[in-house]
Amino acid sequence: MRIQLSEHFTYKKLIRFTIPTIIMMIFTSIYGVVDGIFVSNCVGSNAFAAVNLILPVIMILAGFGFMIGAGGSAIVSKTMGEGDKNKANEYFSMLVCLMIIAGIIFSIIGIIFIRPVSTLLGANGEMLENCVTYGRTLLVALTAFFLQNSFQSFLIVAEKPKMGLVISIIAGVVNMVLDFLFIYVFKLGVFGAALATGMSSVVGGGIPFVYFMRKNSSSLRLTKAKFEFKAILKSLSNGSSEMVNHVSMSLVNMLYNFQLMKYAGANGVVAYGIIMYVGFIFAGTYIGYSIGTAPIIGYNYGAKNSNELKNVLRKSLKLLIITSLVMTGLAELLAKILGGIFVSYDEELLNMTVNAIRLFSISYIFSGINIFASSFFTALNNGIVSAVISFLRTLLFQTAMILILPQVFGLNGIWLAVVIAELLALVVSAVFLISKRKKYQYA
């Protein structure tokens, strides 16, 4: 039986409603990891380093799609909670059109400037060519990537989280099969990796687009809509934390790579790339849960149901605390296995990677609450607080720690930077959750 946003959520219902999105995010992370495995093992560490060097630039551009998905779904779910379904569909349709236009513009800009940006990041020779090839190929599919990520949120608003999971699995299988064919069989290198990812985004964005274009059984459908700049600005404001998060993470990743080149050379960049791939899987649990609960929060905020807001918040915090302990324990236990999947061919690099994973993974104790807190305020249509949490967590605190800790702990200081940053961000999240409890009546 389909769970509706208007229902009272017990632990069982909360888990049932969010589990498809959690699995979807974990699976999405896994097929992203497959890219890295194929590139590292079939093309080489130099190509793998090039992919990790240019990927943050792509994610900065892709941040716009995440911003619209998070901020737009908050407005749509709030409008549905207020009882105006026609208006909700108009907002939804307008935002999809906005993403298509923005995706085309950003693709063109990115393709033009990808080479000078790669040079600025320190790439040269073969690495530079790999950066340009990988980046330009991915940028061609940027619009599809926008739609794929935003529809993940909108499918939950439409009370179709299982459909989102199925589409994600289909796109993931396409990516992994094409990775095997393009990289292992046809030897297309980083071009093959990017082409596989781009084609999977076309599948992941195209299927829900066709679904919403046609008459369907959900509460959302693409209809005629005009651009309402007030609603667009509100969506951008609500989702600004997502944009801040992606831009900040990308800039911080560049800083990590710069520091690692200084302290450990190319091996350090490879080890950090592996941490990121592994981290996507573990963080996918937190992100999936946050995306899954956001429409519930937005709906009940729009319906002025403060009791249910309090119920969802309390249950979410308890579930996340338990999950964070489990995630951290798993990461510590599986560090050598996870590192070996990527670089078992190089013992020195493997040892560095295992040590890095074990230090970095301590951050999972704190990051779940921080990710949820930012998403919680986005769902409440308070983009400013959400953006502040994301900005401090992903940019200010991490940047400071990346620059300070290596002075004391050397290379280990770089791996520990995120741990201290997440701990500081947890304090900020707690302050906002406590100070805003009366305003939103979830106390």
* Residue 150 domain-assigned (yes or no): yes
Average pLDDT over residues 53-57: 85
How many C-beta atoms lie closer than 10 Å to residue 221's C-beta? Answer: 16
Distances (CA, A) of 373 to 127, 156, 311, 369, 416: 39, 19, 15, 6, 22
Tokens 């995630």 correspond to 327
For residue 21 the two structure tokens come to 């999105």
Alpha-helix runs per DSSP H in 39-141: 45-81, 85-120, 125-140
Does residue 71 have a pLDDT over 90?
no
Does residue 311 have a pLDDT over 90?
yes
Average pLDDT over residues 59-81: 86
Conformation bin of residue 52: beta by default, left when phi > 0, alpha when psi is -120 to 50 = alpha
* Residue 427 domain-assigned (yes or no): yes
Q: CA end-to-end span of the chain, whole Å?
A: 31
pLDDT in tens, 34-52: 888 898 889 887 888 888 8
pLDDT in tens, 105-149: 999 999 999 999 999 887 889 989 999 999 999 999 999 999 998
* Residue 174 domain-assigned (yes or no): yes
Domains held by the chain: number: 1
* Residue 5 domain-assigned (yes or no): no
* Residue 6 domain-assigned (yes or no): no
* Residue 2 domain-assigned (yes or no): no
pTM of the model: 0.79
**Containing structural domain, residue 343:** 11-440
Q: How many CA atoms lie within 13 A of 422 on its CB side?
A: 21
Q: Mean pLDDT score of the chain, rounded to an integer?
A: 91
* Residue 102 domain-assigned (yes or no): yes
* Residue 366 domain-assigned (yes or no): yes
Chain centre to alpha carbon of residue 184? 27
Please give the share of the chain, as a percent, with pLDDT higher than 90: 63
Sign of torsion over alpha carbons 414, 420, 422, 424: negative
Model confidence at 232, pLDDT cuts 50, 70, 90, reads very high
